[in-house]
Amino acid sequence: MPLKLPVYLDNNATTPMDPRVLDEMLPFFVEKFGNAASRTHAYGWEAEEAVDIARESVAGLVGAHPQEIVFTSGATEAVNLAIKGTFEDYSVKGKHIITVATEHKAVLDTCRRIEKSGGRITYLSVGSNGLIDLAELENAIKPDTILIAVMYANNETGVIQPVSEISAIAKKHGILFFTDATQAVGKIAVDVHTDGIDLMAFSAHKFYGPKGIGALYVRKKNPAVTITAQIDGGGHERNMRSGTLNVPAIAGFGRACELCSDELAAEGKRLQKLRNYFENQLLELGDVEINGEDSPRLPHSTNISFHMIDGEKLIFETGNEIAFSRSSACTSATLEPSYVLKAMGVPDGLIHNSFRFSLGRFSTEEQVEHAVKIISKIVKEHRDERDYGHHKVL
């Protein structure tokens, strides 16, 4: 008997590849195997053309020019390239960077590395709604501030930061603005020019493309942003990221962006309706809280706290039925409480009973109803056991 797979509600960790994306990729593994840097024959020309087409599609999804897209191995590399590259290139002007306590580990760990290299980092706090205070941001700016790094949408709560307002503050002070938009691109409309973004990281596997491919947007004018390469050897990607291009993955990345461009609005509405149904059904249990509920949020994502349950036990008991998580996939191996929820003021005890659920393109009403049924049943059982044990002790 084949193993029955649980309902997948962890799309913020990764999404299943869309079969249409796989179809786009397959020819480049065997039939069209050329190196895109081979300029002397048809195999290379064919690969280069595929990369050019994909670059246009990726740029089109975020309102960029194709030459502003630098292909990387994923968002983590793009984040490192953006922050370290800016720090090294602009260190003559200053060594101060502003970021947020709730950023993804890719940003936080990169900033900590920069601190070891003589940089100074200010970590902004967030309110109980998960949002930064714009006045605190402006007050944190120093004469030597060179970069503001604030993520577009949080990977645990789905809370969307006021990106346009942040970029306006950065522009007013002549500071570059970088955003980790890994959770936002492909889920909501993102436009680098409308939003005033100078550098932006994102990754294909978060919106039904392949793993191992991502991009860094680097603004070409107003201002023309320069960054120091972190990988040398060959001068690929306009000397910003050397290495043989992963043509199959890039082709898939481009196709995934095309599909998101075509289906973003309708998909967002469908997922928000499903997400809201999921939340409302669980709220009926009572003693349930939605973290970041009153803030702008991604349409497919929710972070829910359940009072009076055993979080570890709930994860174990739902494991064969539902796939979801406590926090970021990058931090799920640790038993430490979520630093994102901690920064929002959620008590440690409740953080351990808080979970991230993220729907996706292939989530169905039946799957969501099944998840509600399973979670509701287990939560009620936990609470009955607590009541029973309480009365028994008395």
Distance CA 177, CA 169 (A): 9
Q: Are residues 217 and 268 in the same domain?
A: no
Strand order in the sheet with 354-358: 288-290, 301-306, 354-358
pLDDT at residue 333 tops 70: no
Catalytic residue set: 330
pLDDT at residue 392 tops 90: no
Domain that holds residue 242: 19-258
In this prediction, residue 386 carries a pLDDT of 74
Q: Are residues 243 and 276 in the same domain?
A: no
User: Is 2 within the bounds of a domain?
Assistant: no
pLDDT at residue 80 tops 50: yes
Q: Are residues 293 and 201 in the same domain?
A: no
Above pLDDT 90, what percent of the chain? 92
Q: Helices 42-62 and 247-283, interaxial angle, to 10°?
A: 30
Q: Are residues 131 and 243 in the same domain?
A: yes
Which pLDDT band holds residue 393 (cuts at 50, 70, 90)?
Answer: very low
Tokens of 202: 């994102």
pLDDT at residue 319 tops 90: no
Q: Are residues 250 and 320 in the same domain?
A: no
User: Is 222 within the bounds of a domain?
Assistant: yes
How many domains does the chain contain in total?
2
In this prediction, residue 385 carries a pLDDT of 85
